[in-house]
Amino acid sequence: MALYKNVLHHSANTTPKWLLETIGVYVSLINQCDYCVAHHFEGLRKLLNDEEKSGVIKSALAEALESGVIVTPALSQKEITALNYAAKLTTAPAYIAEAQIEQLRAAGWDDGEILEINQVAAYFAYANRTVLGLGVTTEGDQLGLSPNNSNDRDDWGHR
């Protein structure tokens, strides 16, 4: 759990936590990990505290699986650039090149934020494979619990 807390919920992250959750949901949708989609969409929903926006985002991500393009007014072009990078890192990591990093920079992400986006996408690729490989289900789970930050080992609430 230390890796999870330090990647997704570290108190020093500057990328908005709801967007990091969105990246996790998107990577999990791509990898068909229903467990992670369910848990992290609930976390995203709680962080946004906006049922309509969170639903629009989830629908747009699901539609992007078919079309390859994220289209929604609920996300800025900067946010979509981060999600596109996460998708490519998930589906074709050997083809990530300096051009993708430059696109992130041009969209307004600094190098520290690019690393946060990278680490969240990579972590979810790992976590999805772990969950899928063990046959984990959401049966009996309370959805959306996660650590708020890495400073308090007992903090598992979204804020």
Which CA distances in Å does 5 have to 19, 98, 151, 153? 15, 28, 9, 9
- The residues spanned by each domain of the chain are 2-134
pLDDT on residue 122: 97
pLDDT in tens, 88-141: 999 999 999 999 999 999 999 999 999 999 999 999 999 999 999 999 887 876
pLDDT in tens, 48-86: 999 999 999 999 999 999 999 999 999 999 999 999 999
pLDDT on residue 158: 47
Global pTM value: 0.88
pLDDT in tens, 138-157: 787 666 655 555 555 555 55
Report d(CA 26, CA 28) in Å as an integer. 5
DSSP 122: H
Q: Mapping DSSP to helix (H, G, I), strand (E, B) and coil, where does residue 88 land?
A: helix
pLDDT on residue 35: 93
Average pLDDT on 19-40 reads: 96
CA angle 133, 136, 140 (to 5 degrees): 180
Query: Topology of 2-134 in CATH?
Result: AhpD-like (1.20.1290)
pLDDT on residue 75: 98
